Amino acid sequence: MICNTFKRLSLNTWDKISQSRAVNFQLKEETFTDLNMLEIKRNHPLKVKTKVFTKHEEGINGADWEWWFRNSKSQWIGFRIQAKIINNLSYEFEHLHYQSAKTKVFQCDKLLQKSLTKNAPKVPLYCFYIQSDDKKHLTKWTCGTFPATKDLWGCSLASAFSVKSLRAKASNHLTDLEPFLKPWHCLVCCTGYGGNDNIENIDNYVKENFPIDETITKELDLTTPETFITEKPPQYVLSIQENEKNDNIFTEDEDLRGVIIYTFDKEDQE
């Protein structure tokens, strides 16, 4: 089940960052993103489709991934994800509030704009790769499905709205982000949010745990969607689902590094 895979990847991420800290070797977020996407596909080859677009120079400005989940009723829900990794020494997430020197646009604002499109809006999230041996960190467990396990914070999610709210004070330390973090497995594991299937449950989970800040949507002149469920995802997503090996699938979105699609089946309902 996808739930078990997400949990295992969190544990692995926590462990690898711990190993890197022990030898003073700072890993990069794209390393974990690529390896985690690989493991999801390797463990669920019949349910997962992926596409990596021409790799742009990520540098400090990063590159986005889109996650799409679908069910047998042709309902979809999408996520736009920007990854950040904890600094081994400072426990900060460097460049969390990155601003383009050329355009003066903040990365977080761009993530929100790319996500909250009028057609097929996506949930704007940050994925944080985390590890800490400090007992003062990550003390409030937020998952109601599984008992507290600190290592499961290894891959954690937070809303782009929450990240933007931290910008005024340039807050980027783990302790600043803690109130907003959710273990990423909850997205696919925690089934107590109602609805008839996984897609509706995820949509309800998102509404409760990653609410839209309408003050920010008004500031950026963005549309507030009533739901993130759609039957019409972008054409490049449909093309990937139809044939991921097709080399003629393109997107004009230069910030999109790749797409992963997961199809829920009866096993995931159990």
* 96-132 pLDDT, tens digit each: 999 999 999 999 999 999 999 888 999 999 999 999 9
Structural element, H or E, at residue 80: strand 76-85
pLDDT band per the 50, 70, 90 thresholds, residue 62: low
In DSSP terms, 125 is beta-bridged to: 81, 159
pTM: 0.95
CB 107 within 8 A of CB 194: no
pLDDT at residue 63, as a whole number: 79
Chain centre distance of CA 258: 12
* Average pLDDT, integer, range 77-105: 96
Per-residue pLDDT, averaged over 47-74, amounts to 80
Note whether 204 and 193 are within 8 A (CB).
yes
CA distance 53 to 256: 7
CA distances from 19 to 30, 66, 131, 208 (A): 17, 29, 10, 35
**Mean pLDDT taken over the chain:** 94
Beta bridge partners of 207: none
Q: Which amino acid is at 35?
A: L
**What pLDDT score was predicted for residue 224?**
93
Cβ of 135: how many Cβ atoms within 10 Å? 8
Q: How many helices (H) and strands (E) does the chain have?
A: 10, 8
Say what the pLDDT of residue 248 is. 87
Residue 171 has pLDDT above 50, yes or no: yes
Judged against a pLDDT cut of 90, whether residue 196 lies above it is answered with no
Residues 228-255, mean pLDDT to the nearest whole number:
92
Task: Give pLDDT, residue 43.
Answer: 96
CA gap 12, 14 in Å, rounded: 5
